Chain A
Amino acid sequence: MAETEETLKRIQAHKGVVATMVVNAEGIPIRTTLDNSTTVHYAGLLHQLTMKARSTVRDIDPQNDLTFLRIRSKKHEIMVAPDKEYLLIVIQNPSE
């Protein structure tokens, strides 16, 4: 348990990382470093997108599964690592 906490702390401390969020299977944020309203916003939207992406991947080949999802925009990059019950979302500014 401590290991995972450590990992999350390290991720947050990395260069350029703006925010870290853990969202459960229903799209409800469990843990976040942002304010509530933004978190809820991100959580809802990214949850739907991840479900859609996963559905797409699995529909083409049911033995396949989504590993991670990256959305790179002009301002920053949103990375989503889906798990069985949770989603880990990290927002980073890649270019320095």
Chain B
Amino acid sequence: MPAKAGDRQRQNQNGPPGGRAAQPRLYGASTKKRDEDTSTEVGEGVDEWPSSKTVVKPPDQLDLTEAELKEEFTRVLTANNPHAPQNIVRYSFKERAYKPISYVDQIAIHFSLNGNMILRDSDEGRRQSLRLSNASEKAPSETSAVVSEEAEIKDEKSTEDVQAAEEEEAEGTETAEAAEAAEAEEPPPPKVKEKKLPNQFNFIERSSRTLDNPLRERASQSEPTPCKNFSANANQWEIYDAYMKELQKMEKSKEKEKPKAQIGKKVEKKRGRKLISLESQGDDITKISNAAKIMERMVNQNIFDDIAQDFKYFEDASDEYRDQKGTLLPLWKFQYDKTKRLAVTAISWNPKYKDLFAVGYGSYDFMKQSQGMLVLYTMKNPSFPEYVFSSESGIMCLDIHNDHPHLMAVGFYDGNVAIYNLKKAASQPSYKSSAKSGKHTDPVWQVKWQKDDMDNNLNFFSVSSDGRIVSWTLVKNELVHTDVIKLSAEGTTMQGPEGLQLQTVGCGTSFDFHKKIDYLFLVGTEEGKIYKCSKCYSSQFLDVFEAHHMAVDSVSWNPYHLKIFISCSSDWTVKIWDHTIKTPMFIYDLNAAVGDVAWSPYSSTVFAAVTTDGKAHVFDLNINKYEALCNQVVVAKKKNKITHIQFNPVYPVVIIGDERGQVTCLKLSPNLRKMPKEKKGQEVKKGPEVEIAKLDKLLILVREPDGRAQGQEDKALL
């Protein structure tokens, strides 16, 4: 009987566990630090041996001192399971961390057996006993008392917690036992009547299995789409550039639409081919020309750095101590090796680009006539000219058009005039007069642009020693000349052969047009006379001034005052006139032939004159009516004569040209640039009216009440 057998087993088991339970395991009963096993071994060995008190020392015994031997070690008996882990760590999902478990199970289970006994008093037990009792009524066989015993669990000394756990476990095992007991009773014992005991649930487990299809892995891979790395910056300017390109494309397409209607496709193809071929021909170096130009200027700026700084910022402080006198500070020197033998015959500032000026080269010596040059310099590049044009005949004069600053009118020594166009790369003039078209028969001494005529044609005037003042008009790419006036010397009709009356012709050497009154102009002649003329009258002059004893080198209207003009001559004098009065207002004697005189653009009372002894004189009538504020030797070599002077319209510099082909740029010191002092409380009036008023004041002092000027002979102190 399995139940009985189980009982016996349990009984057997009861004994030993009980016995064993009584025996606590002792830990560390020895006084020495040794494993329990070895100590017990030795202990046993000692008992068996004869009573020789000699202690056998094993060779590997620790040698300890007396003190150490007498040391007492305390040992504590605990009920802990030495094999139980002391540091179990469980993962807590709540805290998402590993947490050590404070309580560790100290139970050591030595033997466990699941039995199939149920408690007699439990529900199941009672049910079964009822059934059995029913069955036993029929069968006289012994019924086994359902003996239930607790599952034998070998128990050691444990904590109360463990006891509680035991009970729980016991209950668990009970239900397991119950189930097992039920199952065990299923096959009916042979002694008991065959009675099929169905299980409680009438439950039959059946299972079937479908055929598992074997798994097969199949993979396919497509071609990767081609990838390309692209990176770019989207800056403001990239966006702007993109828009501009679009705009240009649209414009081009619009343009193409128009000519397509007119021009055939073949022509377009040709154009296309031409464009392509041109592009391939273009050399690398030409594309860098702009950058090279800028670079040259930068390099020059570095080389002439101190001069550039002086030009911009230097104001001579010692002018305060100089008692109204001023100086001219030399800045740059412009020269070109091809012009070394030529003299500067004309200088002119460009009206649009204030740092660009044109210089004409030729020769004043009629014995040594050679080629001429027209060179344009810029103050930004003192070492090399910007434009160079050469001509066969020496250039005597030049003028730049106010509205078209790329056009320059030039007069030659051989009497021709020409127009140079800066925009075209050609070194030859765009338009040139010739003997057919009425060139002068003598050197052209001055040219001046005029306003466009009624047909919007460009025109300019020229004056020459042959006595003619000619107006040239650019009509349909040709220069057409019109004689404006013939200068005839007054009262010099001669009796020529065969009774002809010849008029000796005056030789014009300079002229100037009035700023406001368009038809009015002045002509200076070789005889020293100045004629006031009008464009309307071709044979008569409005007035004649007996100006100088020698040729009048330059006449110039005052830029502010409408009535005043200045003239200079080789007779060493500079004279200032009012054109309504026959005698000069001021006369200055400069002790050397005066080559050129120029009004300053910033003040109506300042002018400068240059002489052939290499000196420059600057006057300011407002400050000193009798003396020059500055007499300065500009050109080093004594053999060198200064030929021309020009004020820069914007900057406080003057350029002076000499006979050696050199152009020197000088800065005016502050004393020479004085503006009238404003009285306290009054606003500073600016503008041409002030200048005119200033000059008027001076003139009033000079004029006599009846309108004639006092002749004032002043000598400049040298």
A residues in contact (CB < 8 Å) with B = 1, 3-5, 7-8, 10-11, 14-17, 22, 30-31, 55, 58-63, 67-68, 70, 77, 79, 81-88, 90, 92, 94
Contact = CB atoms under 8 A, between A and B. Distances in A.
7 contacts: A1-B283, A1-B285, A4-B286, A10-B384, A59-B236, A62-B237, A83-B291
Contacts of B236: 58-62
Interface in B266-296: 283-296
Contacts of A1: 283, 285-286
A79 B285 contact: no
B302 A88 contact: no
B684 interface: no
Contacts of B298: 68, 70, 79, 81, 90
A84 B284 CA distance: 12
Contact of B240 (A4, A15, A62): A62
Interface residues of B, number: 29
Given A67-B294, A79-B295, A79-B298, A55 B235 contact: yes
B185 interface: no
Contact of B288 (A4, A63, A94): A4
Contacts of B287: 83-86
B299 interface: yes
B303 A4 contact: no
A68 B383 contact: no
A87 B303 CA distance: 22
A7 B293 contact: yes
Nearest to B283: A1
Contacts of A86: 284, 287-288, 291
Nearest to A15: B303
Contacts of A68: 294-295, 298
Contact of A81 (B283, B292, B305): B292
B69 interface: no
B295 A62 contact: no
Choose among A62, A82, A90 the residue with the greatest number of B CB atoms under 10 Å from its CB: A62
Closest 8 CB pairs of A and B: A58-B237, A62-B240, A81-B291, A62-B237, A88-B291, A83-B291, A94-B302, A4-B289
Contacts of A85: 287
Nearest to B233: A55
Contacts of B291: 81-83, 86-88
A14 B286 contact: no
Contacts of A67: 294
B239 interface: yes
Contacts of A77: 302
A7 B289 contact: yes
